[in-house]
Amino acid sequence: MYPEFEDDIGPEIVCHVYDPKTGMKGVVVIDNTALGPGKGGVRLVPDLTVGEVFGLARAMTWKNALAGIPFGGAKSGIMAPGHAPNKVELMRAFSERIAPLVPSVYIPGPDMNIGENEMAIIANTIGTPKAATGKPSSMGGLPHELGSTGFGVALATEVALEHSKIPLAGAKLAIEGFGNVGTFTAKFLTEKGAKVIAVSDSKGTVYLESGLDYNILMQVKKEKGTVTAYPGAAVLAPSALFEAKCDVLIPGARPNVITDKNAGAIKARVVVEAANIPMTSEVERSIEKRGILVIPDFVANAGGVISSYVEFSGGSEKEMFSIVREKITKNTQLVLERSKGDTRKAALEIARERVVDAMNKRGTMKR
| Same domain, yes or no: 119 and 172 | no
Residue 328 forms part of a structural domain: no
Residue 207 forms part of a structural domain: yes
Amino acid at 303: G
Nearest to 78 by CA among 101, 52, 58: 52
| Same domain, yes or no: 210 and 127 | no
Looking at residues 335-358, what average pLDDT do you find? 96
| 259-280 pLDDT, tens digit each | 999 999 999 999 999 998 899 9
What range does the domain containing 112 cover? 13-62+73-141
Residue where one domain finishes, among candidates 141, 158, 181:
141
| Same domain, yes or no: 219 and 235 | yes
| Same domain, yes or no: 77 and 188 | no
Residue where one domain finishes, among candidates 118, 141, 164:
141
| Same domain, yes or no: 177 and 103 | no
* β-strands 172-176, 195-201 pairing: parallel
Name the domain count of the chain. Answer: 2
Work out the pLDDT band at 1, boundaries 50, 70, 90. low
Q: Which of 39, 75, 135, 187 is catalytic?
A: 75
| Same domain, yes or no: 228 and 198 | yes
* Residue 15 pLDDT greater than 70, yes or no: yes
Backbone dihedral angles phi then psi of residue 20, each to the nearest 5 degrees: -65, -30
Residue 7 forms part of a structural domain: no
| Same domain, yes or no: 195 and 256 | yes
* β-strands 24-32, 13-19 pairing: antiparallel
Write the Ramachandran bin of 204: left for phi over 0, alpha for psi from -120 to 50, otherwise beta.
left
What's the confidence (pLDDT) of residue 254? 84
Q: Which residues pair with 235 in a beta bridge?
A: 206
| Same domain, yes or no: 106 and 155 | no
| Same domain, yes or no: 184 and 282 | yes
Q: Do 32 and 355 form a contact (C-beta atoms < 8 A)?
A: yes
Report angle CA 52, 53, 55 to the nearest 5 degrees: 65
| Same domain, yes or no: 294 and 167 | yes
Question: Does the active-site annotation cover 75?
Answer: yes
| Same domain, yes or no: 106 and 189 | no
What's the confidence (pLDDT) of residue 145? 76
Please report, for the domain that includes residue 163, its CATH number.
3.40.50.720
Please report, for the domain that includes residue 83, its CATH number.
3.40.50.10860
* Residue 3 pLDDT greater than 90, yes or no: no
| Same domain, yes or no: 164 and 297 | yes
Looking at residues 225-254, what average pLDDT do you find? 95
* Residue 251 pLDDT greater than 60, yes or no: yes
SS (H, E, C) 8-65: CCCCCEEEEEEECCCCEEEEEEEEECCCCCEEEEEEEECCCCHHHHHHHHHHHHHHHH
Residue where one domain finishes, among candidates 88, 112, 141:
141
